[in-house]
Amino acid sequence: MTFVFMTRDILKKKIGEQIVEFREKKGWSQSDLARACKKDRQTIEKLENGKVNPTLYTLLEVSSALGISLSKLLDFS
């Protein structure tokens, strides 16, 4: 699936799934990730559930906190 054929809701859901996957690989809770990127836990929860449309900067902060590149966070293959 490519970005061109994704709806906004599908894209938000896939980003959320990626965040969960990488967070869980680190053994982190939502609170752990929130602390690492200076966000509140509710923000992380909303990101993971696809309830918000994150800015590029927010995604960069999250990927950096997870120790991965932004491109890896957005790799849905």
Model confidence pLDDT, tens digit, residues 3-48: 567 899 999 999 999 999 999 999 999 999 999 999 999 999 999 9
Angle at 32 between CA 38 and CA 49, to 5 degrees: 85
pLDDT for the residue 6: 83
pLDDT of residue 2 exceeding 50: no
CATH of 8-73 given 1.10.260.40, 3.40.50.2300, 2.40.110.10, 1.10.12.10: 1.10.260.40
User: Residue 4: its pLDDT value, please?
Assistant: 63
d(CA 29, CA 27): 7
pTM for the whole thing?
0.91
For residue 24, the number of C-alpha atoms closer than 13 Å in the C-beta half-sphere is 7
- Tell me how far CA of residue 12 lies from CA of 18, 38, 74, in angstroms: 10, 21, 11
Q: Which residue has the higher pLDDT, 2 or 34?
A: 34
